[in-house]
Each structure stands twice: as C-alpha cells, then as structure tokens.
C-alpha cells in the first residue's frame, strides 16, 4: 500500500536520516541503542528521569562497563544529547521506550515505569511521530496501555502516531553480538505502523524481523526468555541428580554439546540472576491467568531455579562439615557479585542471596568482584561490604571460597593453589582436586 500523509513524511525522514531519534530510559538497553542510532547517522536525544545518568552522558562518561566512554564522546560530537527535560520529546520523530518492567511485591507485573513514561510524554506528542516500546512485557501491553493513552490526546494510531512493540535483545558482555548485529523483531499496531517501524530500525539494525502484531512481538520476547528459564531449570535439576550419582554435570554437558543437531547447551549455576530471566516469565504467568491457563513449566522452572541457592549452601555446609567446621564462625569468601561473568550488573544476583543465607547461619562473609568494588544497596539486600582483593594470603585466610560468578578476570590457578576449600558452582575446575567441591 502506498504511504501517504504523516506516514510518508516520516518514512522519508527516517530513510534520509534527517529524523531525530529519542530514546527514553538510558539504562543497559537505552544507552547502546542511543549509540547505535547515532552511529547510523541520526541526531539522537536521550531522556531519563535519573539526572546522574544524563549528566554522565553529557560529560562523555560511561556508567556501564562494556560501553566505552569514547563512543559516548563521539556521539556527542555528532550532535547527540541527553537530558531530563521531557519537552525535548517534541523534537523527536521517533520515541523509543526502554524503561524497566519489574515485578511488584506480589510477583505481578509492575508497569508503572512504562505508563508513567507514556503519561509524561503525552503533552509533547505531535502528529508524525513513531512510538516504540522495547521493554519486555506481556502480550497486550502496547494495545491496552499505550494505545488508549495516545488516543486520549485525539491522535489516530496508524494515521497521526505510529505505534510499535520491538523487544530488546541486548546481551551485555557478549563480545560476538552488538545492538546492530542482533536481528530485531518488530510488530505494529496497524500495517502502516509496521511499515514505519521497518524504516526506523533497518537503518540502525542489520536485520529487522517483521511480525503481524504488537502482541506477537511481545510474546516472542517472552518465549525467548521462558525458553532460557525452563532449560536452566532442567539443567539445574540434572545437576542435582548427577551430583547424587557422583557424576560431573559439566563433563556431561560438554559431551552432549558435541551433538551437531537437536541439543543446545545450558549451564547450571547458583541460581537465576539479572533483570530478565528471573522476572519476565512471570509477566506471562500473570496474563495467562486472565485466560484461565496455569503456566506449569514456568512455575516448575521457577521452583527449581529459586531453590538453587539453598542447595549450594547445603553443599558448603557439608563440605565444611567434612573438615570438622561448622558454618557458624567460618570465614567464607563469595567470588563474584555480578549475576553473570564479565559484567558489572548485580540486579537479582544470586550472590546476594548466598551472602544473606550464609550470614544467617553465622558465617563471616566477604566477597570479591573486580567489577563491583562496593556492595550496592539492592531491593532486598543491603550489606556494608567492599570487594576483597585476591592474594595468596587473603585467599588462604578463608575456610571456604564459594565460586558464584566465573569472571575471566579471576586468577583461578592462584585461587586453587591457596584456598583451603573451594565450592565451585560454575564448573570452572575440571577433574578431581582435593580442595574443590562441585555445587
Ligand atoms: N538489560 C538487559 O540485558 C535487557 C535485555 C533485554 C530486554 N531488557 C528489557 O529492557 C527494559 C529496560 O531494561 P534495562 O536493563 O535497560 O533497565 P535499566 O534499569 O538499566 O534502565 C532503565 C532506565 O529507565 C529510566 N527510567 C525509569 N523511569 C523512567 C521514566 N519515567 N522516564 C525516563 N526514564 C526512566 C531509569 O532511570 C533507567 O536509567 C526492561 O523491560 C528489560 O526487561 C533488558
């Protein structure tokens, strides 16, 4: 169908790169996207309610370990900016929302950040803009929460304003894939919206995958994350079985992964972490209830995964017991506070729960993480702790070293040579070693 009116003008601006792109929410997702659109040749505006972030950007500083400050400085030179002033949204032709979608205290979706952001943008909307939601959420959010808000201002979606859902697939710390090279799924509220969406993303992202609706795009993202959560649950259960049988699950996974088809390796760990996998599946659980469906796989995986920290603590307890030591009064060093290797992100990290459980049992706990110098206050946990520097003597001083996150930066030879006991939750140490217990 031939594009006309606002749609045609907007597509032309996007294709000619005369459009201005506004990114709302400059966190782990928003900042790399702001850079990707700047790199692609657009003027970009970053909006955030957190003035510390926008000030960092304006000074050319990065607050995310894997985002180089030099890239931010280069974007600034190309005319990019960041601000807390929502009125700048009026200058943007595209508004891309990358705000948090957490769970509330009852483990239900908390869409406040999304709806507050949309409400704050409403006074600055004008005909001829495209609004794209990237935050992970349940199917229906774009149509049920964003569309009526936009229409309340008298705009017609598909004629004046073009509405999309296009899920983010950022994988922080992954050196193989960047925002640009990860294919981008995109669904529109109407066919005209989708046509605009394709024009928007194909300039900055190598491959755009159009789907028939925003709801399909929303569920696609949830399927990806639920697939991960369920498979991690399965491999965590396999780890417990293998442990009882005296088999090293990591050796089994390495062997199974040599099968060239039909097997995808997932790795067990001390529990789920990060902003996505422990949270997103429950967005679907909540929505499925409205359709009378109980999400059994999701609940079961959640049960297995959330029991992992307790299982690991039991392994620590047993390993100390063999050495005639009670947990109470033992000195334990937790290696790695970030939720996964080589990143500085501590959201929902299982290490915090491990520290809490060990402290409750009377252990004297420290942690070491080269990327997290100080324990940052979390929603559930607040410990006054600083990262311990690893040395022969500091390692040897602990009754137990609990390897929770396998950062490449750790000197694993040094650790195994000097630790009295290592409880390894990541399969770093292969083969039998007298001071290593797998968990
Ligand atoms: N981090 C990831 O790897 C990842 C991957 C895929 C999807 N996601 C999804 O992307 C979304 C964002 O995640 P993130 O990791 O970037 O979160 P984040 O917490 O790093 O960043 C969110 C930003 O939004 C800002 N913000 C909150 N309310 C705002 C408002 N009303 N107006 C403007 N800014 C506001 C916050 O200050 C913060 O800077 C979530 O839905 C998440 O599930 C994240």
pLDDT digits (tens, 9 = 90+) for 143-197: 999 999 999 999 999 999 999 999 999 888 788 998 899 999 999 999 999 999 9
pLDDT greater than 70 at residue 365: yes
**Mean pLDDT within 239-265:** 97
In angstroms, the Cα distances linking 389 to 392, 401, 436 are 10, 13, 21
The predicted-structure confidence for 401-432, as pLDDT tens digits, reads as follows 999 999 999 999 999 999 999 999 999 999 88
Task: Quote the tokens at residue 179.
Answer: 């925002």
Atom of ligand 1 nearest to the CA of 28: 16
**Mean pLDDT within 278-283:** 94
Using DSSP's 3-state secondary structure scheme, residue 46 falls into strand
Which residues, including other chains, have CB under 8 Å from residue 59's CB and lie 6 or more apart? none
Using DSSP's 3-state secondary structure scheme, residue 210 falls into strand
Beta-ladder partners of 208 = 184
Computed on alpha carbons and rounded to an integer, the radius of gyration of the chain in Å comes to 24
Atom of ligand 1 nearest to the CA of 117: 31
Strand 364-368 and strand 331-335: pairing?
A: parallel
Residue 383 DSSP symbol: -
Q: What is the pLDDT, as a whole number, of residue 355?
A: 98
Distance CA 124, CA 417 (A): 61
Atom of ligand 1 nearest to the CA of 26: 39
**Mean pLDDT within 93-103:** 97
Task: Quote the tokens at residue 236.
Answer: 């965590």
- Cα dihedral: 354, 360, 365, 366 (round 10): 60
In angstroms, the Cα distances linking 361 to 10, 167, 268, 358, 399 are 61, 42, 24, 5, 15
pTM of the model: 0.94
Distance CA 321, CA 327 (A): 8
Q: Is the CB of 187 under 6 A from ligand 1?
A: no
Strand 161-165 and strand 184-188: pairing?
A: antiparallel
Most distant pair of Cα atoms in the chain: their distance: 79
**Mean pLDDT within 394-401:** 98
Q: What is the pLDDT, as a whole number, of residue 66?
A: 87
Mean pLDDT, all residues of the chain: 96
**Mean pLDDT within 310-319:** 98
Range in 113-122, 271-280, 335-344 the model is least confident about = 271-280
Instruction: Say if CB 423 and CB 353 are below 8 A apart.
Output: no
Alpha carbon of 33 to ligand 1 centroid (Å)? 12
Residue 275 DSSP symbol: S
Q: What is the pLDDT, as a whole number, of residue 1?
A: 66
pLDDT greater than 80 at residue 2: no
Instruction: Say if CB 132 and CB 111 are below 8 A apart.
Output: no
Q: Is the CB of 56 under 6 A from ligand 1?
A: no
Distance CA 22, CA 9 (A): 18
Using alpha carbons, select from 114, 95, 89 the residue that is nearest to residue 218: 114
Q: Is the CB of 437 under 6 A from ligand 1?
A: no
Q: Is the CB of 54 under 6 A from ligand 1?
A: no
Task: Quote the tokens at residue 12.
Answer: 């032309």
Beta-ladder partners of 401 = 333, 422
Q: Whose CA is nearest to atom 24 of ligand 1?
A: 25
Task: Quote the tokens at residue 422.
Answer: 């290592």
Angle at 210 between CA 206 and CA 216, to 5 degrees: 130
Residue 109: CB atoms within 10 Å = 22
Distance CA 189, CA 212 (A): 9
Which residues, including other chains, have CB under 8 Å from residue 74's CB and lie 6 or more apart? 38
Atom of ligand 1 nearest to the CA of 136: 41
Beta strands in 53-150 (DSSP E): 81-83, 94-97, 129-133
Using DSSP's 3-state secondary structure scheme, residue 349 falls into coil
**Mean pLDDT within 1-14:** 91
Q: Whose CA is nearest to atom 21 of ligand 1?
A: 27
Alpha carbon of 46 to ligand 1 centroid (Å)? 13
- Cα dihedral: 373, 378, 382, 386 (round 10): 0
Instruction: Say if CB 120 and CB 95 are below 8 A apart.
Output: no
Q: Is the CB of 344 under 6 A from ligand 1?
A: no
Q: What is the share, in percent, of the chain residues with pLDDT greater than 70? A: 100
Strand 81-83 and strand 208-211: pairing?
A: unpaired
Classify residue 142 as exposed, middle or buried by CB count within 10 Å of its CB (0-12, 13-18, 19+).
Answer: buried
Residue 109 DSSP symbol: B
Residue 251: CB atoms within 10 Å = 13
**Mean pLDDT within 18-37:** 97
Using alpha carbons, select from 225, 244, 219 the residue that is nearest to residue 297: 225
């Amino acid at each position: 169908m031939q594009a006309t009116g606002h749609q045609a003008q907007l597509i032309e601006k996007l294709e000619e790169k005369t459009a201005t792109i506004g990114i709302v929410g400059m966190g782990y997702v928003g900042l790399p996207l702001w850079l990707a659109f700047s790199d692609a040749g657009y003027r970009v505006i970053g909006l955030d309610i957190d003035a510390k972030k926008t000030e960092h950007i304006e000074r050319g500083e990065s607050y995310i370990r894997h985002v180089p400050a030099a890239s931010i400085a280069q974007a600034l030179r190309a005319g990019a900016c960041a601000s807390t002033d929502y009125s700048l949204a009026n200058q943007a032709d595209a508004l891309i929302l990358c705000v948090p979608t957490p769970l509330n205290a009852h483990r239900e979706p908390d869409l406040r950040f999304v709806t507050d952001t949309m409400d704050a943008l409403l006074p600055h909307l004008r005909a001829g803009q495209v609004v794209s939601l990237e935050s992970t959420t349940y199917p229906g959010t774009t149509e049920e929460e964003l569309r009526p808000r936009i229409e309340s201002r008298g705009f017609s979606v598909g004629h004046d304003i073009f509405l999309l859902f296009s899920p983010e697939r950022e994988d922080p710390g992954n050196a193989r894939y960047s925002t640009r090279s990860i294919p981008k799924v995109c669904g529109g509220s109407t066919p005209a919206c989708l046509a605009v969406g394709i024009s928007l993303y194909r300039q900055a992202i190598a491959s755009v995958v159009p789907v028939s609706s925003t709801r399909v795009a929303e569920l696609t993202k949830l399927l990806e994350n639920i697939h991960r959560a369920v498979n991690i649950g399965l491999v965590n259960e396999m780890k417990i079985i293998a442990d009882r049988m005296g088999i090293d699950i990591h050796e089994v996974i390495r062997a199974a992964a040599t099968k060239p088809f039909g097997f995808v390796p997932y790795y067990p760990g001390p529990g789920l972490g990060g902003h996505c996998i422990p949270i997103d599946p429950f967005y679907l659980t909540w929505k499925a209830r409205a359709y009378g469906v109980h999400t059994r796989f999701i609940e079961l995986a959640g049960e297995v995964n959330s029991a992992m920290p307790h299982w690991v603590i039991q392994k620590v307890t047993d390993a100390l017991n063999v050495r005639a030591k009670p947990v109470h009064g033992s000195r334990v060093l937790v290696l790695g506070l970030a939720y996964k290797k080589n990143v500085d992100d501590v959201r929902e990290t299982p290490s915090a729960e491990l520290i809490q459980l060990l402290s409750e049992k009377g252990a004297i706990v420290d942690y070491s993480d080269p990327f997290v110098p100080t324990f940052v206050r979390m929603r559930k946990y607040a410990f006054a702790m600083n990262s311990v520097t690893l040395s022969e003597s500091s390692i040897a001083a602990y009754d137990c070293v609990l390897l929770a996150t396998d950062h490449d930066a750790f000197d694993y030879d040094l650790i195994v040579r000097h630790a009295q006991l290592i409880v390894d939750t990541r399969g770093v140490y292969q083969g039998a070693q007298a001071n290593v217990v797998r968990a």
